A and B are shown apart, each in its own frame.
Chain A
Amino acid sequence: MSVDTERARTGPPVGTDENRRARPRPRSGAGARGSRLTPYLFLLPGLVLFVGLVLWPIVQAARMSLVDWKFTPGVPSPFVGLEHYDRAVHDPVFWKSLVNTGVYMVATVPTQLALGLALALLLNKAIMGKVAFRVLYYLPVVTSWVVVSLVFEYLFSTNSGLVNHVLHDGLGIGQEPVNWLGERWPAMAVLSMLGIWKGAGWAMLIFLAALQTVPRDLLDAASVDGAGKVRTFFSITLPQLRPVVAFVTVMLVIGGFNVFISVYVMTGGGPGDDTQVVLTYMYKQAFEFLDFSYGSAIAYLLAIIIFGLSFAQMKLFKYDEEAS
């Protein structure tokens, strides 16, 4: 179902509302004042929830990160300025969590982009079982993070997991079974594989939808001009997809920074703090050590990084567009 929002947005002028108000409206019984209030009445219930439970917490998070937050209601929380931020900058575990998050992103974002695009291209033509493939590739996306994390924990368990069974007993690789979740880099590899496995279908579905919008006549013209498939892809399809590639990249980067449940469930940030990512570290500080101010500072630092990166990416994609 496609909706012509553009037309509607630029459509009938606002002035028609005036005409409407002037007409008699027997059943409504509301005067001009009532009409002016009407939109607010429609907005009110949702807006109360949105402001109270989303907007206010955004402000509150900033405040909490700048004070020494007291857990008990009514006890004043002294202002400490950027102390918690300073602490984060000098906290080696925070840096470690940032590096791990970065590694996770570098491992998952380009891979999901490439796989998503490749799958979309493969599925973009008539092929047997197209709908079935689409459903299967998308299945991990809709499945709960908790469930898939547990499944991967099981698959990668050291002594009885399917993966070690195939690698060690089947293919005879390695002397000892790999202790996947007990060491930093193997664990980060497993977490990244899970991220890719779970997210590739999302990128695929977005690209698949976008491929439908590449003008047929452009592709036909390229084909008439004798361009091969590879050439057509890089000269026509990919440039046409640029805004969508930008969107998917930004969303995947945000998603990468958001990695939490898989780490929380599979390694708990351990061994030691070796697989801690920013959000698991934030969670640990806040809900294990009850250091809510420090947790808020970490959350805000992450938000700033995410906004900076998203902004930079949008600039980058736009800049290229103007240059070409």
Chain B
Amino acid sequence: MNRPSAGTSLRFVVLVAGAAVMVVPFAMMVATSFKQQSYVLTPDLVPDHATFDNYVRAWTSSGFAHYFLNSAVVSLSTVLLVLLLGSMMAYAFARFEFVGKRVVFYSMIATLMIPGMMLLIPQYFVARDLGVLDTKTGLVMFYVAGQLAFTTFLLRGFFAGVPRELDEAMLIDGANRLHIYWHLMLPLARPALATAAIFTFLGSWDEFVWAVTIIDSQDNRTLPMAIQLFQGQHGTSWGLVFAASTIAVIPVIAVFVVFQRFFVSGLAAGALKG
């Protein structure tokens, strides 16, 4: 431990080199987003004649302001619903004994192992039969259903750790279960709720496959599918594509950097206790 700092310096150099590998693709993306069209095929990290034009055009004439709004509406609705429904289920699992508890709980856990894309085809037909193809409702419903198991699992662990004496004290004071859930459990579970919210937000903000499968009309596109379709149609307009990409990535990075301590705890909970 008290060895000279040669080892530490070497470690630092290796970490910096690794970090560079992680950052260069992002740097290229951002650099290209500031390039004029005649420069986008030059591999420079610092653009000549940098321009903000791509952002203005992406946001206005290419419609990414609208796609951004769609993504925001869909992701935030998903987060709110997942937190509400997931915490209700978690509360039931943490505080009640009832017939079918184990079956329901373990079937939810089991679906965590099933890759989402396996269900794409039948889910498409369920969406068709419910009449929610090509709607934002169709996106939110299936995002919520898909994220519910993880959130319930995460929150159940947290609720189970809340001392039962607190519930009992409130029951004696005449509170009912709904009151306890809303005024005791949810406020206490704020860190766990934050963790669940972040995972759910990132999951739905970045989601692509379901969106590209059920959404047809331009009006309902979310950012990832809009970016992919835009690139498909304007193959070499990399400046615009990456301006739109940067716009899409900024909220993700902001959420991640600001809330990263919740992130680590959530991942650790999933890995070490799961």
Contact of A119 with B18 at beta-carbon distance under 8 Å, contacts A46-B89, A53-B126 already known: yes
B69, CB-defined interface residue at 8 Å: no
Contact B113 A53 (CB under 8 A): no
**Residues from chain A with Cβ under 8 Å of B208 in the complex:** 144-146, 261
Distance in angstroms between the alpha carbons of A52 and B145 in the assembled complex = 9
Cβ-neighbour of A43 out of B41, B88, B144, B225 (below 8 A): B88
A36, CB-defined interface residue at 8 Å: yes
Contact A54 B98 (CB under 8 A): no
Contact A159 B41 (CB under 8 A): yes
A61, CB-defined interface residue at 8 Å: yes
- Flag the segment in A78-86, A92-100, A184-192, A299-307 that touches B: A299-307
- Flag the segment in B47-55, B56-64, B250-258 that touches A: B250-258
Contact of A296 with B92 at beta-carbon distance under 8 Å, contacts A20-B171, A287-B213 already known: no
Contact A160 B43 (CB under 8 A): yes
Distance in angstroms between the alpha carbons of A206 and B264 in the assembled complex = 8
Contact with A along B153-171 (1 / 0, CB 8 A): 0000110111010001001
Contact B96 A39 (CB under 8 A): yes
Distance in angstroms between the alpha carbons of A150 and B228 in the assembled complex = 8
Contact A197 B175 (CB under 8 A): no
**Residues from chain A with Cβ under 8 Å of B252 in the complex:** 142-144
Contact B88 A244 (CB under 8 A): no
Contact A42 B88 (CB under 8 A): yes
Contact A302 B118 (CB under 8 A): yes
Cβ-neighbour of A145 out of B18, B206, B213 (below 8 A): B206
Distance in angstroms between the alpha carbons of A309 and B126 in the assembled complex = 30
We find that the number of chain A residues with CB closer than 8 angstroms to chain B is: 110
Contact with A along B7-30 (1 / 0, CB 8 A): 010011011001101111110110
Residues facing A in B209-261 (CB within 8 A) are 209, 213, 223-225, 227-228, 231, 238, 241-242, 245, 248-249, 252-253, 256-257, 260
Cβ-neighbour of B121 out of A4, A12, A30, A286 (below 8 A): A286
Distance in angstroms between the alpha carbons of A303 and B142 in the assembled complex = 20
Residues facing B in A51-71 (CB within 8 A) are 52-58, 60-61, 64
Distance in angstroms between the alpha carbons of A150 and B94 in the assembled complex = 44
Contact with A along B66-104 (1 / 0, CB 8 A): 000000000000000000011011011011111001001
Q: Which residue of B lies closest to A194 (CB)?
A: B25
Q: Which residue of A lies closest to B22 (CB)?
A: A136
Distance in angstroms between the alpha carbons of A78 and B192 in the assembled complex = 48
Distance in angstroms between the alpha carbons of A148 and B23 in the assembled complex = 12
Q: How many A-B residue pairs have CB under 8 A?
A: 288
B184, CB-defined interface residue at 8 Å: no
Residues facing B in A25-63 (CB within 8 A) are 25-30, 36, 38-40, 42-43, 45-47, 49-50, 52-58, 60-61
**Residues from chain B with Cβ under 8 Å of A11 in the complex:** 164
Cβ-neighbour of A127 out of B11, B88, B141, B164 (below 8 A): B11
A260, CB-defined interface residue at 8 Å: yes
B120, CB-defined interface residue at 8 Å: yes
Contact B179 A135 (CB under 8 A): no
A165, CB-defined interface residue at 8 Å: yes
Cβ-neighbour of B43 out of A136, A137, A150, A162 (below 8 A): A162
Cβ-neighbour of B25 out of A3, A20, A56, A148 (below 8 A): A148
Distance in angstroms between the alpha carbons of A172 and B144 in the assembled complex = 52
Distance in angstroms between the alpha carbons of A323 and B22 in the assembled complex = 39
CB distance from B44 to the nearest CB of A (A): 9
Distance in angstroms between the alpha carbons of A61 and B26 in the assembled complex = 39
Contact B43 A165 (CB under 8 A): yes
Contact B113 A254 (CB under 8 A): yes
Contact B164 A16 (CB under 8 A): yes
Additional A-B contact list (4), CB under 8 Å, known A27-B174, A27-B175, A144-B223: A128-B12, A140-B22, A147-B245, A282-B117
- Sampled A-B contacts (20; CB under 8 Å): A3-B157, A3-B161, A5-B273, A8-B162, A9-B160, A25-B174, A28-B174, A43-B88, A43-B92, A47-B104, A123-B15, A127-B15, A143-B252, A144-B252, A145-B208, A150-B241, A165-B43, A166-B43, A197-B21, A254-B113
Q: Which A residues are within 8 Å of any B CB, using their own CB? A: 1, 3-5, 7-9, 11-12, 14, 16-17, 20, 23, 25-30, 36, 38-40, 42-43, 45-47, 49-50, 52-58, 60-61, 64, 73, 119, 122-123, 125, 127-129, 131-140, 142-148, 150-152, 154-155, 159-162, 165-166, 197, 201-202, 205-206, 208-210, 213, 244, 247-248, 254, 257-258, 260-261, 265, 279, 282-283, 286-287, 292, 295-296, 299-300, 302-303, 306-307, 310
